């Protein structure tokens, strides 16, 4: 994957939301500045940061054997993962995540990373991809999909599995948006597309640091905060319920000759904005 450090294009996020996000991140980082390792979160602004975030997310998803990510790899690759050989699967999935992070930037997406100081320098411990209401509504250009998306999918999955993976991703988007409509929830929202913590740093409040600025932002602007949980058996109660997410539906992937893990379910979840309590 590319590792150059040149800056990314300007973020396509509503200016008031982006300004609010910067303020909230700065305040939270200041509050954590005295903690061991001086943990902080920041918006990824270079290709190198996005690439490192994609590698971290791929490592965590493969390490945790996330079915939503392993499903479209060949069965032989899934068998290697289950035997402890993670390297090739991580490379394949990181390639796809790197593309998805870049594609999301056209539509209001941004990557957030959490890091802490170590004797060897700052270490990225968590990474997440977010979607916010865009400043200028637009879609990923066809040339970007053709040049980068198709190439990443073909190299990672092969042609038939790439088509199956794309179809599954589109079906999940349709199911999620339809559920929002059926529940009368606004589609203008904050969208936690994916996120993870490096396994060795789980339990160190890394997830909370990445989620907190968006929780505060959602409450400030009265926005729904939504996500799809691809590991409901581990994350829904352990992580998301603590942030007041509620399940509003689910999307099931059935057995298929291109699905290497068998049927699995993704929970559709939202957090409704919480009114600020008046000062007493």
Q: Read off the pLDDT of residues 113-169 as tens digits, 9 standing for 90 and up.
A: 999 999 999 999 999 999 999 999 999 999 999 999 999 999 999 999 999 999 999
| Residues 201-236 pLDDT 10s | 988 899 999 999 999 999 999 999 999 887 656 555
Kind plus residue range of the DSSP H or E element containing 182: helix 159-182
Helix residue spans in 183-231 (DSSP H):
206-221
CA 10 to the chain's CA centroid:
20
CA angle 269, 274, 280 (to 5 degrees): 160
Model confidence at 1, in pLDDT bands (50, 70, 90)? very low
* 186 three-state secondary structure: coil
CB 95: neighbour CB atoms within 10 A? 20
Residue 20 phi, psi dihedral angles, 5° rounding = -60, -40
The pLDDT, as a whole number, for residue 3 is 42
Closest of 213, 188, 241 to residue 126, by C-alpha: 213
Global confidence as pTM: 0.91
Residue 139 burial (CB < 10 Å; 0-12/13-18/19+)? Answer: exposed
Q: Is the pLDDT of residue 280 over 50?
A: no
pLDDT, mean over the chain: 90
């Amino acid at each position: 994957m590319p590792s150059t450090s040149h800056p990314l294009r300007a973020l396509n996020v509503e200016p008031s939301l982006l300004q609010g996000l910067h303020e909230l991140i700065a305040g939270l980082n200041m509050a954590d500045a005295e903690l061991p390792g001086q943990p902080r979160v920041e918006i990824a602004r270079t290709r190198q940061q996005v690439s490192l975030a994609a590698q971290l997310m791929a490592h965590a998803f493969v390490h945790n054997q996330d079915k939503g990510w392993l499903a479209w790899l060949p069965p032989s690759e899934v068998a290697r993962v289950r035997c402890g050989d993670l390297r090739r699967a991580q490379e394949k999935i990181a390639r796809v995540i790197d593309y998805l992070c870049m594609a999301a930037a056209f539509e209001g997406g941004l990557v957030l990373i959490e890091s802490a100081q170590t004797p060897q320098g700052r270490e990225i411990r968590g990474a997440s991809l977010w979607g916010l209401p865009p400043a200028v509504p637009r879609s990923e250009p066809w040339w970007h999909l053709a040049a980068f998306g198709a190439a990443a999918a073909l190299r990672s999955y092969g042609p038939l599995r790439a088509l199956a993976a794309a179809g599954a991703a589109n079906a999940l988007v349709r199911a999620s948006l339809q559920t929002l409509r059926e529940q009368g929830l606004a589609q203008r929202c904050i969208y936690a597309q994916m996120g993870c913590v490096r396994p060795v740093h789980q339990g160190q409040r890394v997830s909370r640091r990445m989620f907190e600025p968006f929780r505060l932002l959602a409450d400030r602007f009265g926005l729904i905060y939504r996500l799809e949980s691809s590991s409901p058996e581990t994350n829904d109660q352990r992580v998301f319920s603590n942030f007041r997410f509620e399940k509003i539906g689910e999307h099931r992937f059935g057995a298929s000759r291109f699905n290497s893990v068998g049927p699995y379910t993704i929970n559709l979840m939202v957090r409704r904005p919480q009114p600020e309590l008046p000062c007493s």
